[in-house]
Amino acid sequence: MIVKCKNCLPVDGIEIPDFSQSTKIELIGLTAQSSLQSIKFIVDNFNLSHRDAKYISTHINAIYGHCNRCNYDKLDEEYVQCPKCGALNFNWNTSNEKSKTHSP
Ligand SMILES: [Zn+2]
Ligand SMILES: [Zn+2]
């Protein structure tokens, strides 16, 4: 799928892979430790350019529902523009993953 952020280049957005739930969890953890590590993980595992990997890493939410750029904390979709500041958020819901017995 293509994601776009009005604050970031390229303006046309980038194509992102269909990340599995386990990859999302891994990426959130890596991004929390070091954005460089998460960028490397994306480049190595998904064969993306450094630019695209950085774009993805930049937009991953550390806390579910909480905008990366401002203090808005009611985001409720996965790939969503913050209604307050307009920034793109990869708002992956991994917090209730134990209650799900299967993934699509
Ligand atoms: Zn952005
Ligand atoms: Zn925001």
Between the CA of 34 and the centroid of ligand 2 the distance, in Å, is: 21
pLDDT in tens, 2-20: 999 999 999 999 999 999 9
Number of folded domains in the chain? Answer: 1
Is residue 28 situated within a structural domain? yes
Q: How far is CA 57 from CA 50, 52, 99, in A?
A: 10, 9, 26
Is residue 100 situated within a structural domain? no
pLDDT in tens, 27-73: 999 999 999 999 999 999 999 999 999 999 999 999 999 999 999 99
Q: Residue 51 belongs to what domain range?
A: 2-95
Between the CA of 83 and the centroid of ligand 2 the distance, in Å, is: 7
Nearest listed ligand to the Cα of residue 14: 1
Is residue 104 situated within a structural domain? no
Is residue 62 situated within a structural domain? yes
Is residue 102 situated within a structural domain? no
Of residues 44, 60, 43, 61, the one with CA closest to residue 52 = 43
Is residue 103 situated within a structural domain? no
Is residue 7 situated within a structural domain? yes
Nearest listed ligand to the Cα of residue 59: 1
Question: E strands, 8-85, where?
Answer: 14-15, 79-81
